[in-house]
């Protein structure tokens, strides 16, 4: 437990974050083998959520309510949006998986920074796989910035501890 009073902490801003895509090399320890495949400054990241299904147990003789236990946990699809550039790394990954190399998964680390630029929070998505890529809509009359989307399915969501977060930022 920390000595910081949780009620005195200011809320975090959601506009400073970074997304790193890493792959774990086989035969090495997880911490030392994370290789950054690509990083991105995305304009939007949504879908950082996990839902645990309640399991209801109806007990005989218990007339006031039911017993609740935890059931299966499911994870939402993560949606990343960024301004389109000539960089093709996300499309290359999507195409690679889509052409039969579906076992090629990446770990995704989403780091949130405070206004001073210090990492304050990091989420890790395990074994992420691209399931949808959307290029910007083209319009001859439009003046908007072209935005591309990448949708990711994954096998686990975890909040990294301070030590793990520091280790991912130094690699």
Tokens standing for residue 53: 């299904």
Give the chain's mean pLDDT: 82
Instruction: Give the mean model confidence (pLDDT) for residues 149-161.
Output: 92
- pLDDT tens, position by position, 3-14: 666 666 666 777
Residue 147 · residue 135 · CB < 8 Å: no
CA–CA gap between residue 93 and residue 38 (Å, rounded): 10
Share of the chain above pLDDT 70, in %: 79
Token pair in block for residue 82: 């960024």
Distance (Å, whole) CA 166 – CA 147: 31
Q: How far apart are CA 9 and CA 55, in angstroms?
A: 35
Where residue 24 falls among pLDDT bands split at 50, 70, 90?
Answer: low
CA 110 to chain centre: 6
55-91 pLDDT, tens digit per residue, is: 998 888 888 888 999 999 999 999 999 888 888 888 8
Q: End-to-end alpha-carbon separation of the chain, Å?
A: 28
Mean of pLDDT values over 84-99: 85
Domain boundaries in the chain?
Answer: 13-135+142-170
What would the CATH number be for the domain defined by 13-135+142-170? 2.30.110
Res 8: pLDDT: 67
- When pLDDT is averaged across residues 21-31 and rounded to a whole number, the result is 61
Residue pair 14/109 in contact (Cβ under 8 Å)? The answer is no
Picking from 85, 75, 38, the residue whose alpha carbon sits closest to that of residue 151 is 75
| Rounded distance between C-alpha atoms, residue 131 and residue 149, angstroms | 11
88 against 124, higher pLDDT: 124
pLDDT of residue 114: 86
């Amino acid at each position: 437990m920390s000595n910081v009073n949780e009620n005195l902490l200011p809320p975090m801003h959601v506009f400073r974050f970074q997304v790193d895509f890493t792959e774990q090399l086989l035969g090495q320890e997880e911490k030392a083998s994370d290789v950054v495949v690509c990083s991105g400054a995305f304009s939007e990241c949504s879908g950082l959520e996990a839902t645990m299904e309640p399991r209801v147990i109806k007990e005989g003789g218990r007339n006031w309510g039911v017993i609740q236990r935890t059931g299966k946990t499911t994870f939402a699809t993560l949606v990343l949006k960024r301004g389109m550039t000539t960089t093709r790394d996300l499309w290359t990954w999507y195409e690679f998986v889509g052409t039969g190399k579906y076992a090629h998964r990446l770990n995704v680390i989403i780091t949130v920074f405070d206004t001073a630029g210090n990492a304050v929070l990091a989420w890790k998505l395990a074994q992420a796989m691209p399931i949808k890529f959307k290029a910007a809509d083209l319009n001859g009359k439009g003046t908007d910035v072209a935005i591309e989307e990448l949708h990711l399915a994954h096998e686990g969501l975890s909040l990294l501890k301070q030590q793990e977060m520091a280790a991912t930022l130094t690699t």
